[in-house]
Structure 1
C-alpha cells in the first residue's frame, strides 16, 4: 500500500487542508499517517479521525524578544532527530506538509531520509516556517497566483487551497431551519474568523436594525461574544461557534461578510458565495490577510473594505452593493480554475512520489 505522512499544526489553518485531502487520498489507496506536535490543536483533530498520530518536539520561531528564543532552537533540533528516526521507521513514499512550526523538523527529517516533501502555502506570501522548510522540499503548492514569484521556478505549482468536501454537501433548507429563518428573505452570513472579530461584531450590531429590513442575518461572532440582548431581533441568529452545522448555514447564505483567512476564502470560492472581506489590519497580523483580499479582489471574486477606513454607513452601503451585484461575483468564481484544489494537490503528491520510485528503480 502507498503510504503518506501528513504534517502541519499550530492553527486550524495548518490542519484543515490536510483533512480536506483525506477522502481523496483514501479513495486512491493511500495509507495516511500524521506527525504533529505534542500539545498542538492538530492532535485532537487528527486522532478523532482515527489516523495514527506521532508527536515530535518543536519550537516557535519568534520575531520578538523572548526567553524561549534561547531554548526553542534546541527543541527544534530534538524534533529533527525524532522525525528522522520516525520517518526511517515509517518509510512513507512522500511527506505532505501544510506548514506551521512542527513542519520544520519533519521536513528536515524527511530530507535526511531521502523522502520527497511537498509543501503547501495557504497565504499569498510564504510564512516563516515554510520559508525555513523550502530548501528541503521537492515541490511547493501555491494557493494564489501571486505566490509563484516567491518560489523557486522548479518547485512552485499553482493548485489553490483544498477545502473540506463536507462543505459542498450542505442543505439550504436545513440551514434555514437551524437559524430559524424563512425562505422568502435573503440571508447574510457574518464571520470574523475562528475566534471572532470584535470590530466586525460591533459594526454589524450597530447597523443590525437597518440590515434586517433587507436580510436575515446569521452571525458567527466567536466564543464569549454572543449578546443575549440582541435575541429580541427577529431574523437575527447568533452563534459563538459553528461545527457540523456550518455546511448547512453556508448553503443558506446568499452573501457573506468575513475576514480574509485563506482557508475560508477558498471555501467561499468553491461554494460561489459573493462576499465582502474585511482583512485583519497589518498591526494585528503580518499582513497576509490584506494580500489575500487584494488577490481575490483582483480576480473579481471579492469586495474589500479595510478596517482603517470602515464605518457604519460605508459598511451598510457596501453590503447592499454586494447583494445588488452578486451575480457578477458568482460568474467570476464559476470561471475560476482554482476551485478543485484537492485534486490538483493530490496530482502533485502522486507525481512527486512516482518520480522518487523511478529514481529508486534506476539505482
Structure 2
C-alpha cells in the first residue's frame, strides 16, 4: 500500500488544498496521515472533515518582529524536527506534501532526513517565510502564480495554477436561497467575507453602510467567530460567523463578492466568475502577500481593490455600485483566464514523485 503524509497549518489557507487532495488519495487506496501542531486550526479542520490519522508535533511560530517567544521557539522547532523525523521513520510514507505554514518546516526537514521526497505548494504571489525556509529540502515547489518561481533560486518550481475544491463546482443557487431564506427576486446578492484575520474593520464599515447597501442588494455577511451583531435585523441582510458546507451554494447564489485577498479564496471567485472587491490585509497585519495578490488580479481586470486605509462607508458604497455597474466587463475579463485543473495536475505530480 502506498503511503502519503500531509502537513500545513497555522491558518485555514494552509489546510484548504490538503482537504481537497486527501479524499482523492483515500479513494485511490493510499494510507493517508497528517502531521500538524498540537492545538492549531489544522487539527480542528482535519479531524472534523476527514478520517485520517493525525500526528501532532512541537512547533514555534516564525515571526518577523521582536518577541521574547523568539528566544524559545527555535528550541521548539528543533524538538519538532526530531518528532517529525520519528513519525516519518515509523510511518514510512512514499511522499510528503506540504502546504506551508510554520508547522510544516520541521516536517519537511524530517522527511528530508529520512530521504523521503517532498512536494511544497505555495498559493501566494510571493512565498511565505515557512516555504522559503523549507524550499532547500524539497524536491518540487508548486505555484499558483507563474511569477512566484522568480522568488526561488532553483529549478524546482512547477506552475500548476489554482487548486480548487471539487465541491465548489457543484454549488446550487436555489439551495443557497433556501439556506439564507432569500426569495428569488431581481435584487442582486452581495457576499461579504472578512476572513479570520482582521475582519473587525470590514464588519464595522459594512454595518455602517448597511442602510445604503440593502437599498440595492441582498447582503450575506460572514463576519468571523464571535463577531455577530444580534442587534441588527433587516429582511435583506443575513449574518453568519462562517459558512462551511453551504458556501458553494451561497457563492452560486451571489452576484458580487467583497473579500480579503487570500490566494485560495480569490481564485475560487475567479473560477466562478464572481466580480469582486478585494480589501487586502495591510503590511502591518501581514507580510504583504495579499497586497500583491490583489494587485495582480487588478492588473488583469478581475477585481477592484480598496485599500483598508481608504475603507469608509462612502468608499465602500461607491466601489460596490461601480462594480455592479461594470459587472459584465469584469466577467468578460475573467472569461479570458485559462482555467487549468490544478487539483488533478497536483495529484498526478505527487503520484509520479512517489513512484520515483
TM interval, short-chain normalised: over 0.9
Cα offset, 1:132, TM superposition: 0.7
State the alpha-carbon separation in 2 of the partners of residues 40 and 227 from structure 1: 27
State the alpha-carbon separation in 2 of the partners of residues 351 and 152 from structure 1: 24
Structure 1 match to 2:282: 281
Cα offset, 1:252, TM superposition: 0.9
TM-score normalised by L of structure 2: 0.93
Contact 1:59 1:75 in 2 (8 A): yes
What root-mean-square deviation, in Å, do the aligned CA atoms of Structure 1 and Structure 2 show?
A: 1.8
Where does structure 1 lack aligned partners over 5 or more consecutive residues? 357-363
Structure 1 match to 2:241: 240
Structure 1 match to 2:316: 315
Q: Does 1:334 align with 2:338?
A: no
Contact 1:144 1:295 in 2 (8 A): no
Matched positions, count = 354
Contact 1:196 1:220 in 2 (8 A): no
Change (3 A) 1:224 1:82: closer
Contact 2:124 2:263 in 1 (8 A): yes
Cα offset, 1:291, TM superposition: 0.7
Structure 2 match to 1:176: 177
Change (3 A) 1:227 1:57: closer
1:138-177 equivalences under 5 Å are 138-177=139-178
Q: Secondary structure at the match of 2:231?
A: helix
Q: Does 1:137 align with 2:127?
A: no
Q: Does 1:347 align with 2:342?
A: no
Q: Deviations over 1:28-70 (max 9, x none)?
A: 4433211112222212322331101111221222223333222
State the alpha-carbon separation in 1 of the partners of residues 65 and 170 from structure 2: 43
Structure 1 match to 2:74: 73
State the alpha-carbon separation in 1 of the partners of residues 131 and 13 from structure 2: 14
Change (3 A) 1:226 1:85: closer
Contact 2:198 2:285 in 1 (8 A): no
Structure 1 match to 2:202: 200
Q: Deviations over 1:201-255 (max 9, x none)?
A: 2222222222222111111112232223320x22111112222222221111111
Contact 2:198 2:281 in 1 (8 A): no
Where does structure 2 lack aligned partners over 5 or more consecutive residues? none
Q: Deviations over 1:317-362 (max 9, x none)?
A: 22122122223322333332355321122132123223x2xxxxxx
Q: Does 1:263 align with 2:264?
A: yes
Q: Does 1:17 align with 2:22?
A: no
Which stretch has the larger CA shift, 23-32 or 81-90?
A: 23-32
